[in-house]
Structure formats: structure tokens, C-alpha cells
Amino acid sequence: MLKAIFASLILFPFHSAFAEYRAYQYLVKTNDPYAAATKAQAQYLVSTLNPQMFKRYHGGSLVSVDLLRTWICPGYTGRGLQTCEHPYDKEVKQ
């Protein structure tokens, strides 16, 4: 048993792991009739929540969520870090 573990450690070198996550851009509008009095506007939002979870987390049937685009970001969003920009936005700025 010990020989098998030792052999597997030698045969399979250690690799550093690279994290990635998916970012989503949404157009979010309210369906709340009381929000019409406050003139709530549609917003463009970027999130790491998928469309179903985003809608459930932010109000369910009270919001209308339209997925505009999605992309893969390297790294992670722990410790309050921002999501990365869309790759096409980076090309336009340069």
C-alpha cells in the first residue's frame, strides 16, 4: 500500500491549480408596481450568479432578468474582488 502511494506521487507531478469562474451580464428591470412610482430604471449588472440563481436571489417574480452575455474569468472573486471585464471591452479600450 505504501509503495503504491509513493509510486503515484512520483509518477504524477504536482501542478498548481488555476481557478476560473463564469461572469454574466444582465439587464435587470423591475416588475414591482410600486417601483413605477419611484421611476426605477433598468440596470446593467455583472454577476457570478447564473440566471436562475440571480433571479431568485434578487426578487424572484418582482424582477425581469435578461442575460446579455457571458464570459470566463481567471482567478476567483473571494475577499470582495471585482469580476473581470469582458474581453471585448478590453480590446475596445486599447
Q: Identify which of 26, 59, 58 has the alpha carbon closest to the alpha carbon of residue 43.
A: 26
pTM value > 0.75 = no
| Inside any domain, residue 94 | no
| Inside any domain, residue 37 | yes
**88, three cell numbers:** 471585448
Q: Is residue 72 a contact partner of residue 46, using CB atoms and an 8 Å limit?
A: no
Can you say how many angstroms the Cα of residue 28 is from the centroid of all Cα atoms in its chain?
15
| Inside any domain, residue 1 | no
| Inside any domain, residue 8 | no
Domain count, the chain: 1
| Inside any domain, residue 25 | yes
**36, three cell numbers:** 413605477
pLDDT in tens, the chain (94 residues): 666 666 565 656 655 557 788 999 999 888 777 766 666 678 898 988 998 898 888 877 878 889 999 999 888 777 777 888 888 877 666 6
- 29: helix, strand or coil: strand
| Inside any domain, residue 2 | no
| Inside any domain, residue 59 | yes
